[in-house]
Amino acid sequence: MREEFVTAIVGQPFGLEGFVRIKSCSGSASHLIGKKTLTLRPPAGAYISANAARTYKVSESRTGGDGTLYLKFEGFDTPEAVKMLKGMEIVVPRGEAAALNKNEFYVEDLKGLSVVSKAGRHLGIISDILEGAGSIIEITLETGERRLVPFRGEFVGEVDVEGGRAVLLADWILE
């Protein structure tokens, strides 16, 4: 299991003082409130290396009436200055991430799990998770082909992160 992972994305500038909207990957950003520093890195596939992570000092945090988190980073005092952070990923250690409820998983923990049939036959590997109206797992088959499967109870059964596997209940969906 990864010991650190992306927990939020820096969004649009907000106001005139250099605040930015924070888009939580889990739906909750409360674990970021009160942080003095945060590590930001370019998203995967950016023209800058994703390894170019940098720690920024947080000078202030606020929440809006709708629960949106707004952060202000030290040295970024205008909307123009803070625009360069838009799209950056906020990376935190596992112990500082949003708490999980029952039957919830960190996306990064699902990536790389072996996908097996109900009979235990290896079918492929979870290579990515796509978020939208619902979560979709991308499964890379032994042939290298990729299939998309809704991450819902009628398709995916037991998920054992510690054991490194997820059970696919409907093999036909990979055809």
CATH code assigned at 61: 2.40.30.60
Asked if residue 112 and residue 86 are part of one domain, the reply reads: no
Residue 120 falls inside a structural domain? yes
pLDDT at 13: 95
Q: Which amino acid is at 40?
A: L
Residue 101 falls inside a structural domain? no
Number of structural domains in the chain: 2
Asked if residue 9 and residue 67 are part of one domain, the reply reads: yes
pLDDT at 7: 85
Cα–Cα nearest to 123, from 150, 149, 154: 149
Q: What is d(CA 109, CA 160) in angstroms, rounded to the nearest whole number?
A: 10
Instruction: Pick the last residue of a domain from 94, 125, 150.
Output: 94
Contacts of 8 (CB under 8 A, 6+ apart): 22, 23, 24, 25, 29, 32, 69, 89, 90
Instruction: Pick the last residue of a domain from 94, 124, 144.
Output: 94
pLDDT at 51: 57
Residue 117 falls inside a structural domain? yes
Residue 32 falls inside a structural domain? yes
Asked if residue 166 and residue 118 are part of one domain, the reply reads: yes
pLDDT at 67: 81
- List the pLDDT tens digit at each of the 175 positions of the chain: 667 878 889 999 999 999 999 998 777 788 888 899 999 998 865 565 545 789 999 999 999 888 899 999 999 999 999 999 999 999 988 888 777 878 778 888 898 999 999 999 999 999 988 876 678 999 999 899 999 999 999 999 999 998 999 999 988 989 8
Residue 68 falls inside a structural domain? yes
Asked if residue 89 and residue 11 are part of one domain, the reply reads: yes
pLDDT at 37: 95
* DSSP state letters, 38-99: EEEEPPTT-SS-TT--EEEEEEEEEE-TTS-EEEEETT--SHHHHGGGTTPEEEEEGGGSPP
pLDDT at 157: 93
pLDDT at 44: 67
Asked if residue 137 and residue 82 are part of one domain, the reply reads: no
Residue 25, phi then psi, degrees to nearest 5: -75, -20
pLDDT at 24: 85
pLDDT at 130: 82
Q: Residue 25 sits in which domain range?
A: 4-94
Q: Which amino acid is at 16?
A: L
Residue 99 falls inside a structural domain? no
Instruction: Pick the last residue of a domain from 43, 72, 94.
Output: 94
Asked if residue 113 and residue 85 are part of one domain, the reply reads: no
CATH of the domain at 163: 2.30.30.240
pLDDT at 98: 77
Q: CA 147 from chain center: how many Å? A: 20
pTM confidence score = 0.70
pLDDT at 1: 60
Q: Check if the beta carbon of residue 66 is closer than 8 Å to that of residue 23.
A: no
